[in-house]
Structure 1
Amino acid sequence: MVSKKILTIGAVSALAMVATVADARHQWRQYAWAWDGIPLDVVIYNNTSGDWVSRVGVASSDWNVSDSINGSVSNGNNPNCDFVTGQIDVCNDDYGSVGWLGLASIQINGNEIVAGWSKMNDYYFNQQRYNNDVWRQLVMCQEIGHNYGLGHQNENFRSNTTDSCMEYTSTPTEIDKTPDQHDYDQLEAMYPTSGGGGDDSGDGGGGNGGGKDKPRGKPASLPSLGKTPDSWGRPIDYLPNGKPYMYERELNGYRVITHVTWTIEAAAEQGDHHHGGGPRQHSGDLHF
């Protein structure tokens, strides 16, 4: 784990600029929560059962190592993981043989995240291949990372090139259960922790939001999505083999973006679209 940084205000501006250029490479497009110049304190509502209950807390603590995140976990009463303005909900259930280990979905207004949820699929996590500490914690960490606005550092499922939970890999190890320094650098670029806070225009950090007392998008009261791609909308991004892993849907005047963590077996299936350019990899983490 990295230690919390102690920086002068003068140094922070320069550091944020360096981080943006050198390290800010895996934000989930331009999506981010409203930022007001202090650590992001979106509450995670824990609607899980079994050992997932503690895993939500572990993942939250791991993300809180970042100077940019100061989240808390509260008991939830939202077992369907419906969208609720200003919070992240986490759920688990046996969603069946649908090909995915985890889902992360965000409700956005423009590029501003106004609500999010993550789901863990017990159908697979109760099977021997995935029923272990590494897989369970990696997926929990990754889905919550997506809810904060992070994308993947690496999308080649056949490789393991980082020390982060924010990658597609079929061979995770102990070090892949948590964020790494590049994740924290990316969050710092999205949500700088010093430098004067949000301005009156409502633009702050990586999102379209304003200060803490300003509205964070329109009021949200949306149902959760279903467990199969036909409920997630149209594919908008793909793995190197053409397998869709990101979907977009219009719902009651909002866009809903869904990130899919496929099982090893499902991820290996050839998709119907080849997304050119090869896998995105974070050069600082490549292992040779």
Structure 2
Amino acid sequence: MTLKNRFLAGATAVAAIAAAGPALADHAWSNYHWSTPDGVVTIPVVDNTTGDWRPRVQLAVSDWNKSAHIDSAYDPNGTNNNRRCSMIQDTIQVCNSAYGNTGWLGIASISLSGGHIVAGTTKLNDTYFAYPQYNNEADKQLVTCQEIGHDYGLGHQNEDFNTDATDSCMEYTSDSTNNTQPDFHDYAMLDLIYGHNEGGTTGGGGGDPAPCKGRGCKGKSLGFGVGNTQAEWGRAVGYDAQNRPNVFKTNINGYEVVTHVTWAPDARRNTDPGNPHDHDDHTH
């Protein structure tokens, strides 16, 4: 899609979202976004995964690239350690491993500097996807699509596993069959997030080092990877409809690091002593 056509598509979607008014939920992930000189995110998605995750990552990248504001190269030549999944400047690193009985299917983490995302990671937990209830095409594609969507700055349209409210991968759902791709609302939300020019670089911006450009670019390591347990993610700042903490913040090496967690629906409920609403009879 040419740049002109991208912005025509973006303008159409913004007009449609404005017409929809309050009926269309705002599901940006806070105000997190990449700095872009022209409203188009071109940071590469680097695939470090193994086995049948690779075509799923490639499909998710292709689906997100249908946005007028996303034009990410798919880099199949990742060399990251899948267990650690280090943050690499101006890239989204996608990793898989048997991370253990942690309770989560996938996590997306972003590093922030100067008010912008400067690096992102997605982790896909083979421990749970080996279980029969999750070892299927729809669940794997949904989680892959969703975690990469978080790395672009999107939140969830719906956070109740007991419902199936949309056809978007950006929701928790009781039936993932039709939730393997972004939907119109996701693309419209990206239009609102990135439908402005900031100047600066395509990736980190904000005075950070020169951005990673082009296929095969690995960028600069930030010197850390995000851990696999709540104790390593920092303080809980968000909760899902099942009252489980699902957004965490911490600081590592001078970066603010935010992690979004997709819990396994049937995993043991994760309580958080810091949440005053965390008790057995809590409902939404």
Where does residue 188 of structure 1 map in the other structure? 191
Could you tell me which residue of structure 1 aligns to residue 28 of structure 2? 27
Equivalent in 203, 208, 219 of residue 218 of structure 1:
208
Q: Which runs of 5+ in 2 are unaligned?
A: 210-220
Displacement of 1:240 in angstroms is 2.6
137, 147, 151: which one aligns with 1:147:
151
**Do the aligned partners of 2:246 and 2:261 also contact (CA within 8 Å) in 1?**
yes
1:28-79 CA distance string (max 9 Å, x none): 0000000222421110010000011111100000111111111111111112
Q: Map 1:60-79; keep pairs closer than 5 Å.
A: 60-74=61-75, 75-79=77-81
Q: Does the 8 A contact of 2:42 with 2:202 survive in 1?
A: no
The 1:14–1:65 alpha-carbon spacing in structure 2 relative to 1, beyond 3 Å, is closer
Is 1:108 matched up with 2:112?
A: yes
Q: 2: CA distance between counterparts of 1:101 and 1:8?
A: 35
- Counterpart Cα distance in 1 of 2:133 and 2:204: 46
* Structure 1 residue runs without a partner (length 5+): 199-203, 280-288
Q: How many residues align structurally? A: 260
What SS does the corresponding residue of 1:223 show, helix, strand or coil? strand
Asked if structure 1 preserves the Cα contact closer than 8 Å seen for 2:247 and 2:258, the reply is: yes
Change (3 A) 1:172 1:251: same
Q: Report the TM-score, using the length of structure 2 for normalisation.
A: 0.82
- The structure-2 alpha-carbon separation of the partners of 1:51 and 1:6, relative to structure 1 and needing over 3 Å to count, comes to same
Q: CA-atom RMSD, angstroms?
A: 2.8
State the partner residue of 1:162: 166
Give me the whole-angstrom Cα distance separating, in 2, the residues matched to 1:156 and 1:217.
39
Percent identity between matched residues is: 42
Q: 1:260 to 1:212 in 2, by over 3 A?
A: closer
Match of 2:102 in 1: 98
Tell me if 1:36 matches 2:74. no
More displaced, 15-24 or 181-190? 15-24
CA distance in 2, matches of 1:12, 1:135: 29
Distance 2:223 2:91 in 1: 13
Runs (4+) off by over 4 Å? 4-9, 11-15, 267-272
C-alpha distance in 2 between matches for 1:48 and 1:141 = 14
**Mapping 1:2-17, distance limit 5 Å:** 6=5, 16=14
Q: Offset of 1:167 from its aligned partner?
A: 0.5
Query: 2:192 corresponds to which letter in structure 1?
Result: A
Q: Structure 2: which amino acid aligns with 1:189?
A: L
Indicate the larger mover: 209-218 or 30-39: 209-218
